[in-house]
C-alpha cells in the first residue's frame, strides 16, 4: 500500500485540503510521504507564458508545512497541467497537448522509489474522464490503488457517497478510508440536522458494508487561503491506518 488514491464524491469537496492534511498527519507518525496530483486544470499562465507548478501541489506543501521539493520543481508531482478549468480530456484537447497516462504512472513510480507512501489526488470525482478513452476509475483499477474517498454533509452527499462506493466496488477496489470533511458546515450553507444525520447514516453504512474502512473527520476550517490554516490543524489517524 505505497500509493493511496484520494478522490471525492464531487468537485470542490475538499480533496486538496484532505490530501495535504493527511500527508501532514502521516509525517507526524514518521512516514516518509509525498503527494502527487493526477492532473491539474485551471492553471493561470506565468509571466513567461508557461504553466507553473500545480495549484493543488502548492496547497499540499503549505498544509504539510514544508517547502517545495525537487520533485515539484521538475513537475514529477504533476506532469500534466492545463489552463482551461474543465474536465482533463477537454482541457487537454483545447491545449492540443494530449495526456499520456503512462507518463503519470512513471511519475508515481519515481516518487515511490524515494518515498514510503504517495498520496495521489485525483481531479474531480471518480468517473471524470482523463482522456476520451479512459475514466479516472478505470486507471485506478488498472493500478489497483486503495481509495480514500472525501465526502461532506451538504445536501445530496449520501447519494453521491453511495454511488461512489458502488462504482469502487464494481471495479473490485478497496475502500481504504472515508474522510468526512466539515468544510461545508458553515451555518449559511449547511443544515445541522442534515449534517448530523449524514454522519450517522454513513458511519452505520460503512460499519455494515465496509467494516475495514477507516472513518476520519476533517474539522471545519475557516480560511481565506492555505496560508491562514493553523499549524495545529490536522487529521487524527488510527494506529492501524497504514
In a domain, 90, yes or no: no
Instruction: Tell me if 133 sits within 8 A of 19, measured CB to CB.
Output: no
Residue 204 belongs to a domain: yes
The Cα angle at residue 126 between residues 60 and 209, in degrees rounded to 5 = 105
Q: Is 37 a catalytic residue?
A: yes
Per cent of the chain over pLDDT 70 is 91
The reply to whether the predicted model has a pTM over 0.95 is no
* pLDDT score, position 224: 45
Total of domains in the chain? 1
In a domain, 95, yes or no: no
pLDDT at site 206: 97
Domain that holds residue 215: 3-38+102-228
Task: Give a yes or no: residue 34 inside a domain.
Answer: yes
The answer to whether residue 83 is domain-embedded is: no
State the SS3 of 122-155.
Answer: EEEECCCECCCCCEHHHHHHHHCCCEEEEECCCC
Q: Kindly tell me if the per-residue pLDDT of 33 is higher than 60.
A: yes
Residue 111 domain-assigned? yes
**Helix, strand, coil percent values for the chain (each to nearest 5):** 40, 20, 45
Residue 133 belongs to some domain of the structure: yes
Q: What is the pLDDT of residue 184?
A: 64
Active-site residue, selected from the candidate residues 15, 37, 65, 212? 37
Q: Which stretch of 111-115, 131-135, 225-229 has the lowest confidence by average pLDDT?
A: 225-229
Whole-number Å distance between alpha carbons of 142 and 145: 8
Residue burial 131-145, b: 16+ Cβ < 10 Å; e: rest:
beeebbbbbbbeeeb
pLDDT at 230: 54
Average pLDDT, the chain: 91
Angstrom distance (rounded) from CA 109 to CA 103: 10
Structural contact between residues 214 and 176, judged by C-beta atoms closer than 8 angstroms: yes
pLDDT band at 47 (very low <50, low <70, confident <90, very high): confident
Grid cell in block for residue 45: 499562465
CATH number, residue 138: 3.40.50.300
For residue 168, tell me if it sits in a domain: yes
Amino acid at each position: 500500500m505505497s500509493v493511496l488514491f484520494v478522490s471525492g464524491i464531487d468537485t470542490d469537496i475538499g480533496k486538496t485540503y484532505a490530501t495535504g492534511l493527511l500527508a501532514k498527519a502521516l509525517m507526524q507518525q514518521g512516514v516518509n510521504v509525498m503527494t502527487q496530483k493526477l492532473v491539474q486544470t485551471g492553471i493561470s499562465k506565468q509571466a513567461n507564458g508557461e504553466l507553473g507548478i500545480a495549484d493543488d501541489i502548492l496547497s499540499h506543501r503549505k498544509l504539510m508545512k514544508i517547502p517545495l521539493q525537487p520533485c515539484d520543481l521538475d513537475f514529477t508531482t504533476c506532469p500534466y497541467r492545463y489552463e482551461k478549468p474543465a474536465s482533463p480530456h477537454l482541457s487537454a484537447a483545447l491545449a492540443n497537448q494530449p495526456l499520456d497516462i503512462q507518463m503519470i504512472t512513471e511519475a508515481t513510480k519515481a516518487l515511490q522509489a524515494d518515498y514510503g507512501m504517495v498520496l495521489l489526488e485525483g481531479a474531480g470525482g471518480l468517473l471524470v474522464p482523463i482522456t476520451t478513452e479512459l475514466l479516472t476509475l478505470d486507471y485506478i483499477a488498472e493500478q489497483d490503488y486503495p481509495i480514500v474517498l472525501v465526502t461532506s454533509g451538504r445536501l445530496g452527499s449520501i447519494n453521491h457517497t453511495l454511488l461512489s462506493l458502488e462504482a469502487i466496488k464494481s471495479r473490485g477496489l478497496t475502500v481504504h478510508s472515508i474522510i468526512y470533511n466539515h468544510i461545508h458546515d458553515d451555518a449559511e450553507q449547511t443544515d445541522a440536522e442534515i449534517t448530523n444525520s449524514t454522519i450517522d447514516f454513513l458511519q452505520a453504512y460503512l460499519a455494515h458494508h465496509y467494516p475495514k474502512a477507516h472513518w476520519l473527520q476533517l474539522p471545519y476550517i475557516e480560511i481565506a487561503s492555505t496560508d491562514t490554516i493553523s499549524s495545529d490543524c490536522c487529521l487524527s489517524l488510527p494506529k492501524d491506518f497504514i
